[in-house]
Amino acid sequence: MIRKTTIEDVKTIYKLLQIYSQRGELIGRPLSELYDHIRDFAVFEDNTGKVIGCCALQFCWEALAEIRSLAVHPDHTGNGIGSRLAQHALKEAATYNIKQIFTLTYRPGFFDKLGFTKINRADLPIKIWKDCLHCVKYPDCDETAMMKVL
């Protein structure tokens, strides 16, 4: 089941993101930032009510949003949960009349299957780079920028 995040989910999301951050497969987010952006997140619960996946939809501009912090617990990958979370974010974006949605990813093949195409990071508005200033990899970003037109 996919649902909006509650305060009680934040520490679980943090731990989930840390798994992939430690592997170098996702840029981690501080706990304080997750609390600041709790309304951006949706989570996937298994049939016992345990949160095993998360995805954030962050609005950047009038018609531009970003899918970020998409993660599924390693014990549950390959079951379509990540795709369902991303599709949920895309549907939510459409309800806000978002025209373009982008992501910065280490898994471009995953987003290819969802209809995203690779773009040059320089084509993204400068406004989105404010978060990058705090990244440990800045300014040597090695993520792939991808965009989907809704």
CA neighbor of 144 nearest in space, from 131, 123, 125: 123
pLDDT tops 80 at residue 136: no
Residue 147: per-residue pLDDT: 96
- pLDDT tens by residue, 42-58: 999 999 999 999 999 99
- For residues 98 and 106, the model is more confident at 98
CA dihedral 22, 27, 9, 128 (to 10 degrees): 170
- pLDDT tens by residue, 5-33: 999 999 999 999 999 989 888 878 899 99
pLDDT tops 90 at residue 84: yes
CA neighbor of 52 nearest in space, from 87, 92, 3: 3
**Contacts from 12-21 at CB under 8 Å and sequence distance 24+?**
12/43, 12/51, 13/41, 13/43, 13/51, 13/54, 13/69, 16/51, 16/52, 16/53, 16/54, 16/71, 16/72, 16/73, 17/54, 17/69, 17/71, 19/71, 19/73, 19/74, 20/71
CA neighbor of 103 nearest in space, from 112, 88, 95: 112
The neighbour count for residue 39, using CB atoms within 10 Å, is: 10
Question: Cα(121)–Cα(111) distance, rounded to whole angstroms?
Answer: 16
- pLDDT-derived band at 65 (thresholds 50, 70, 90) equals very high
What global pTM score does this model have?
0.90
Residue 127: per-residue pLDDT: 55
- For residues 51 and 131, the model is more confident at 51
pLDDT tops 60 at residue 76: yes
Q: Which domains does the chain have, with CATH numbers?
A: 2-149 (3.40.630.30)
Average pLDDT of every residue of the chain: 90
